[in-house]
Amino acid sequence: MLSYKGHRVCIFFDNGPDARNGAIEAKKLFEETFPGIKVYMVYESPWFSVSVGNCLTTEEAIILKGRVSATFPKAFLKKRGDLRCRPFGVIFARFRKLLVFFPLLFGVNIYLCGVYKIY
C-alpha cells in the first residue's frame, strides 16, 4: 500500500448525543446509494465523521461532492494527507489525463475512482 496526498468528501460531522447513531446511518445510506465508493467512519474525540472517496485531485473531490450533495446536502471537501491505495491504482490515476487524448484506442468508457467517466 502507498500513501499519497488526496481529498475526501465529508458527508457527516457531529458531536451531539446522537452523533454515533447518525454516523452509522449516514454510512449505511451512502453504501446503499453509492456502492463501490469507499466509506470511512472516524471518531476523533468528541467528533464523529463519515468521509467518502479517495480522490487524488480537488477536481475529482468536487465532482464526487456534486454527486452526493443531493443525498447529503451538507457535504464538504476534506483534504487528507494519508490516503492509501495499491501501487497500480496510483500509477493508473497519474496517467488518466493521457486517456482523455486517446479515447479511440480503448473503445469503452473508463471509470476512475468511481467518480466520473472518461470517454
| Distance between start and end Cα atoms, the chain | 29
Query: Model confidence over 55-86: pLDDT tens digits?
Result: 888 899 999 999 999 999 999 998 776 666 55
Q: What is the pLDDT of residue 91?
A: 54
- Does the pLDDT at position 117 exceed 50? no
pLDDT bucket at 109, cuts 50 / 70 / 90: very low
- Answer yes or no: are the C-beta atoms of 13 and 49 closer than 8 Å: yes
Looking at the predicted structure, is the pLDDT value of residue 89 above 90? no
| b/e 18-28 (16+ beta carbons within 10 angstroms → b) | ebeebbeebbe
- The answer on pLDDT for 27 being more than 70 is yes
Write down the pLDDT at residue 118: 41
Q: Which pairing describes strands 2-14 and 76-85: parallel, antiparallel, or unpaired?
A: antiparallel
pLDDT in the model for residue 54: 87
How many angstroms separate the CA atoms of 103 and 117, rounded? 11
With left for phi above 0 and alpha for psi between -120 and 50, is residue 101 left, alpha or beta?
A: alpha
